[in-house]
Amino acid sequence: GAEAFLGRYHNQVSVVPDRGKRRLFGWFGPTNRDYTFTGLFKRRQPGGSTTFSSASHGRPTAMMPIDAFEKIIPMDVVPTPLLRALLIKDTDQAQALGCLELAPEDLALCSFVCPGKNEYGAVLQANLDQIEREG
């Protein structure tokens, strides 16, 4: 079911705090302890630690086509057009770009680095379900 996310073949469990405290204008301060893949905020103090939590610090916005997707995805697919096709539910284009070769967990890193805070795994699963219904 939906709660069964660990199986007998899993060999790693990661634990992060659940949704840290919201900070008013947290991105605007003199320093930023949050991780950013793009390096947009390089105001971290030298020797300072990076904090991780399940908080996304904001609401989902439009997809931003950054080159980070090409850097992190290990499969032989063109990620930016594929992710765009998935978001707009263009199943024909998504199939042509290789969505049938992917599982939702394959796009977890894309969700992690996305500055638009999009959950690509859930979007892929919705598209795969639609493709299955349509035959």
- Confidence (pLDDT) at 14: 73
Residue type, 84: R
Q: How confident is the model at residue 131 (pLDDT cuts 50, 70, 90)?
A: very high
Q: What is the pLDDT of residues 30-74, one digit of tens each?
A: 555 666 666 665 555 566 666 666 666 666 678 878 888 888 888
Q: 47 and 91: one domain?
A: no
Cα–Cα distance between 86 and 38 in angstroms, integer?
22
3-state secondary structure of 47: coil
d(CA 132, CA 114): 27
What pLDDT does 47 receive? 61
Q: Which residues contact 13 (CB under 8 A, 6 or more apart)?
A: 6
Cα 48 from Cα 45, distance rounded (Å): 5
93 pLDDT exceeds 80?
yes
Residues 103, 48 share a domain: no
pLDDT level of residue 123 (50, 70, 90 thresholds): very high
Domain count, the chain: 2
Residue 91 and residue 27 in one domain: no
pLDDT at 8 over 80: no
Do 116 and 79 touch, CB atoms closer than 8 A? no
Task: Tell me what pLDDT residue 94 has.
Answer: 96
User: Does 46 lie in the same domain as 22?
Assistant: yes
Mean pLDDT of the chain: 79
Better-predicted residue by pLDDT, 75 or 45: 75
Is it the case that residue 109 has pLDDT exceeding 80? yes
Using the 3D structure, point to which of 35, 56, 77 is the last residue of a domain: 56
What angle do helix axes 120-134 and 79-87 make, rounded to 10 degrees? 70
Q: What is the pLDDT of residue 101?
A: 93
Distances in Å between the alpha carbon of 38 and those of 4, 42, 65, 71, 91?
33, 10, 12, 11, 29
CB contact set of 6 (below 8 Å; sequence gap of 6+)? 13
68, 13: one domain: no
Position 86 pLDDT exceeds 90: yes
Determine if residue 50 is left, alpha or beta; phi over 0 gives left, psi from -120 to 50 gives alpha, anything else beta: beta
